[in-house]
Amino acid sequence: MRTPFVAGNWKMNKTVAEARELVAGMGPALKQVQGVDKVLCPPFVALLAVANLVSGTEIGLGAQNMHWEEKGAFTGEVAPGMLKEFCQYVILGHSERRTYFGETDETVNKKVLAAQKQGLTPIVCVGETLAQYESGQTAQIVRRQVLEGLKGLDLAFAAQIVVAYEPVWAIGTGKASSAENAEMVHRDVVRAALTDLFGEAAAQSIRILYGGSVTAVNAAEFFSQPDIDGALVGGASLKPAEFLAICQAAAQ
């Protein structure tokens, strides 16, 4: 009942020219993949170019971050309303933003509420570090990130958000979580926390993605798990054939 969802997080890769080339390479085949919500998340400066290339298709567009204020003296920041001109989605609270740019559950929550106000669907990232994983704190950390990051949302909006579980130790390492471990966190931690926040019906409609070294080879195993509703793909989203294969795996 939950439509599979696959998003490509390009991170800080691709100039506008390179972004055009990448979308030209995979766009036609990507459009053919039915029954999956497919979303591209290029850097800010490539959003307009990619928006033009995917307009009129079912390929969605997302940003990788935003500020929570509507406008004003915040040099270097991008406001929700600026993204709304091009995007339907915005990635919020990615672990790289938490680690390198000081984002906290509190600032993530401000951004999530700002996304709601603007009608942008947030893809909210949660996940434990290697040290937290090794000391058995995964459930505690991820539960707190979900509860604190998503508090205060309206029920109707909550049902349409997307959550991505990305264990930090699996990001860009080539060491993906096992599908069983990811399923356990999705079901027993993330969806359980969503149920506590928003109730059973809304929690059952929220897509929970797995992220962290997803490839064309391991994607199908993740998607066969009942509570893994798709993927947030980093490195593999920069390779057209690979990203396409992941989207096709989600369609099956």
Annotated catalytic sites, by residue? Answer: 94, 166
Q: Does 233 bind ligand 13P (CB under 6 A)?
A: yes
Q: How far apart are CA 65 and CA 43, in angstroms?
A: 9
Single out the residue of 35, 119, 152, 172 in contact with ligand 13P (rule: CB under 6 A): 172
Closest distance to ligand 13P from the beta carbon of 166 (Å) = 5
Find the DSSP H helices in 33-69. Answer: 47-54
Closest distance to ligand 13P from the beta carbon of 40 (Å) = 13
Q: How far apart are CA 210 and CA 212, in angstroms?
A: 7
Q: Could you tell me how many helices (H) and strands (E) the chain has, helices first?
A: 13, 8
The residue among 39 and 202 lying less far from ligand 13P, judged by its C-beta, is 39
Q: Does 248 bind ligand 13P (CB under 6 A)?
A: no
**The amino acid at 236:** A
Closest distance to ligand 13P from the beta carbon of 226 (Å) = 22
Single out the residue of 4, 5, 6, 9 in contact with ligand 13P (rule: CB under 6 A): 9
Q: How far apart are CA 72 and CA 95, in angstroms?
A: 26
**The amino acid at 139:** A
Segment 194 to 223, residues that bind ligand 13P, using CB under 6 A: 211-214
Q: Does 121 bind ligand 13P (CB under 6 A)?
A: no
DSSP bridge partners of 216: none
Q: Does 234 bind ligand 13P (CB under 6 A)?
A: yes
Closest Cα partner for 99 from 187, 19, 11, 219?
Answer: 11
Q: Does 166 bind ligand 13P (CB under 6 A)?
A: yes
Closest distance to ligand 13P from the beta carbon of 121 (Å) = 16
Category of 57 on φ-ψ map: left (φ > 0), alpha (ψ -120 to 50) or beta: beta
Binding site for ligand 13P (CB under 6 A): 9, 94, 166, 171-172, 211-214, 232-236
